[in-house]
Amino acid sequence: MATFNKIRQLGEFREAIEQIQARAKEQATRSNHFTVSTVFLQEAFKKLTADRNEEFNFVTGICLPGNFIMTQLLEFEEAKRSYTGVTVDPKVTHEMLIRLEISGHRLLATFHSHPGNGVGSTYPSGIDQRFQNDLERGGHVALMAIFSRDGYIRFHREHGEFVLTIFGDGIERIESNVYRLTKFY
């Protein structure tokens, strides 16, 4: 029975990969335009910085032709968190990606926190860059967003351009793809 379950899981995983690759080809002709609200960013900030440890979440939402609208954080209860890092078992992230694909949803972003304050604390680490690169090579359109403890947010992709629209008040643009939350509700 255990062998049968593993074979079934491998089949589901392969099917999900094929679906991701097919969507990636389809998306190559579309804009990589992402939209997010300041209300959603405020809520994400609260969860990501609730304690001193780093936090990591997947983000999904609504996929319209040419526009990905971030609306929902997906948390990993199994994450091992510390002040200087967060790790999630690759099996757990793969299972979440498969569940998203099977349910017709997409991974739109990864949001995580870094220790420290200011714009300098939002640069992706080598681990962040490798993870993002793996997602992109796997056909995911997902952005990476890194939050500092004082409200700075850097949006990033390793390859390919993207357009980001943030709607709502309480945020200011600092530089290309870097913002600072100015109101904390």
Given phi > 0 = left and psi -120 to 50 = alpha, else beta, which region is 177? left
Which pair of tokens denotes residue 7? 């074979």
Cα 110 from Cα 101, distance rounded (Å): 16
Between vectors from CA 178 to CA 105 and to CA 123, what angle results, nearest 5°?
A: 90
How many domains are there within the chain?
1
- pLDDT digits (tens), the chain, 185 positions: 677 777 777 778 778 777 776 666 555 445 689 999 999 999 999 999 999 999 999 999 999 988 999 999 998 887 788 788 888 888 888 899 999 999 999 999 999 999 999 999 999 999 999 999 999 998 888 999 999 999 999 999 999 889 999 999 999 999 999 999 998 77
Computed over every residue of the chain, the mean pLDDT equals 89
- Which helix (H) or strand (E) covers residue 92, if one does? helix 90-102
Structural domain of 45: 2-181
CB 157 within 8 A of CB 136: yes
Residues in the chain: 185
Q: Tell me the per-residue pLDDT of 139-184, one tens digit each, with 9 for 90 and over.
A: 888 999 999 999 999 999 999 889 999 999 999 999 999 999 998 7
Cα 94 from Cα 155, distance rounded (Å): 23
Cα 155 from Cα 32, distance rounded (Å): 13
Cα 55 from Cα 48, distance rounded (Å): 5
Cα 49 from Cα 176, distance rounded (Å): 23
Confidence (pTM): 0.81
Which pair of tokens denotes residue 80? 């091992």
Torsion angle of the four alpha carbons 138, 115, 177, 96, in this order, in degrees rounded to the nearest 10: 30
Beta-carbon contacts of 3 under 8 Å, excluding residues fewer than 6 positions away, are: none
CATH number of the domain to which 43 belongs:
3.40.140.10
